[in-house]
Amino acid sequence: MSIVSLSTGEPTCTLEDLKAIAGANNFAIKPGSTNETAFLLFANAFDATCEAVSSLPEYSEPRLQPQAVEGGERKYYKPDQAENPLNAWAHKTTLRLPNVKGPLSGRTIAVKDNVSVAGLPIGLGCSPKLLKDGKHPTSPIDATVVSRILAAGGTVKGTATCENLSMFALSYTSDSGVVHNAWLPEYATGGSSSGCGALVSIADVEQARKDGKDARGYPLGEGVDLAVGGDQGGSIRLPASYSGIYGLKPTHGLVPYTGIAALNPLIDHTGPMTRTVEDAALLLTVMAGWDGIDPRCSPETPMPSAVPDYLHDLQSWITTKEKAGEWTPQAAAKGLRIGILKEAFEVFGLDPAVSEAVKKAAERFSSLGAEVKEVSIPIHKHAASIWTIAARPMMPHNVNGNPPDLLSYTMPYLQPNPVDQTYFDTLANRNPAAVNVLMNAAHMQHKYGPALARKAHMHVWELRAAYDKAFEDVDVLLTPVNPTVGPRHPSGSVKSEQNPDGVSQRLMDLFEPAIGNTLNTCGFNVTGHPAMSMPVGWGKVKDGEGRLPIGMQVVAKRWNEASLFRAARSWEVGGRWMDS
């Protein structure tokens, strides 16, 4: 038995369909009742509406259409291991606009492999079998940040490897294999913007070799001047810290996320990863500003024409200090109020070596003339829990391909397959965190319902207010970034003759090294405060010979990225991090 569609006259929904639809909502409709007849009619009418939209051609947003590049056709290739020894490149290309001069002229840029670059595949670090038609789609659009980089004269050199579905804090879950740290291969680069961290740090490693400070001769491949990473819980700052570069998660909504694969609009951020403070300021100015599409932007987001010139601001501040005779190792930070966040040094799993290095770096500000004091924000201890519960229920929407609640450009060409046994079998021993997110969301719904997430959202406001209160007395807060010095990649995650796919059979070997990695970073994703990792020293690796960089997180009041740049640049007057 069926009732014909009101618009086409063709049968669509049957009584079996109606029963299944009701069952999905945890109720049943009495067979043979007038309710059954009426709701079957409603279902057919609604299905006709669905078909009307389904039959429409896809709409191409004009603001996201790619501009013609030098050479016309956009070409790319996947580099082999000889060209890509760190596995940091996903795809390589050379894209620049013809006859364009701008602040990024002559600079090379890589973008995380979740950012849309027209003509290039978007890989997400995942197996193609998780996506529609079993292949990575080719993007028809340029993300807003890509368009702005090209318009500023930059050269896009390709996409950088990222962790599987952007859901891991270390660098061994990508479907293409581990991403090696440029300072010490076989050790973590950090995730999920792992390739970005490795590619930007290559030039510093090469310079260290020229200066005789690093005699190891392992191959590195081609790097880039700058990179664009993504950060939902620390995914810019963590790899920046492990790689010895600067990584900035800007104020939420300052840089449009349009054209970038999302996890949750509440926590999605994109930002610069660079070797210098000045380059971070420059790239932020190019990328920032309202684009009229991204719902993460707010009335506080500046129009592109009103975006601060962060580099000019920094240089003007330095010039003023130079004229006052203050740009010295005794006075460069004079006038800055620095807060050392007490609870950030009490998080689970913090390596004493990391704690000591960051505290020593923080205390340098005193010798540079800043006012330095310890700041206590007790709720910081709960920041990671609040982030988890507030954000977790919506993160499966990304995996399932569902759009967010607010209007956005949803990248319709990027369609995940439904979550099923294939999803579990593909990821359980490659990236267990991605499976765990789904399990967590189901657990919350089953045991607590939506009330727990609502409560967490209320506490986000409390957490934001607590940080805001602290910024009444200090300009920046300082914390560790990663809790440990970069760990060695788990043996089961490295591809070999015995393990050609690089898939670990010991799940906890993958999961354990990442536990606690985001305890000091993820809270600022839900509160929206700008936070930057800056390199401040070295730490010895635990299970081998060598050392790796240690980063310090600098956090400022929302929309006050200028204070991050000033604090970081003044710290450098006391000595470069690599010389420590």
Residues with catalytic function: 112, 192, 235
Nearest Cα residue to 132 out of 143, 122, 119: 122
CA distance 87 to 541: 21
Which ranges of 181-291 would DSSP assign to H, the alpha helix?
Answer: 194-210, 237-243, 277-287
CB neighbours of 106 closer than 8 A, spacing ≥ 6? 153, 155
Beta bridge partners of 231: 269
CA distance 177 to 87: 7
CA distance 143 to 140: 10
Crossing angle of the two packed helices 34-54 and 15-24, in degrees rounded to 10: 90
Q: How many CB atoms lie within 10 A of CB 28?
A: 10
Per DSSP, the residues of 89-138 read: EEEEEEE--TT---TTTT-EEEEETTB--TTSB--TTS-GGGBGGGSPPB
CB 174 within 8 Å of CB 540: no
CA distance 63 to 329: 47
Nearest Cα residue to 350 out of 209, 522, 520: 520
Give the chain's radius of gyration (CA, Å). 25
Strands 226-231 and 269-274, how do they pair? antiparallel
Q: Tokens for 425?
A: 């079998």
Q: Tokens for 343?
A: 């609870």
Nearest Cα residue to 388 out of 348, 436, 446: 436
Q: Tokens for 389?
A: 């519960």
Q: Tokens for 451?
A: 């009330």
CB 532 within 8 Å of CB 465: no
Phi and psi angles of residue 401, each rounded to the nearest 5 degrees, phi first: 80, 10
CA distance 370 to 478: 13
Instruction: Please give the torsion angle defined by the CA atoms of residues 87, 91, 97 and 99, in that order, rounded to the nearest 10 degrees.
Output: 60
Nearest Cα residue to 127 out of 522, 470, 429: 429
CB 192 within 8 Å of CB 236: no
Q: Tokens for 47?
A: 């299905």
Is the Cα dihedral 86, 112, 286, 248 positive or negative?
negative
Single-letter amino acid, residue 85: P
Q: Tokens for 311?
A: 């580099």
CB 563 within 8 Å of CB 556: yes
CB 68 within 8 Å of CB 119: no
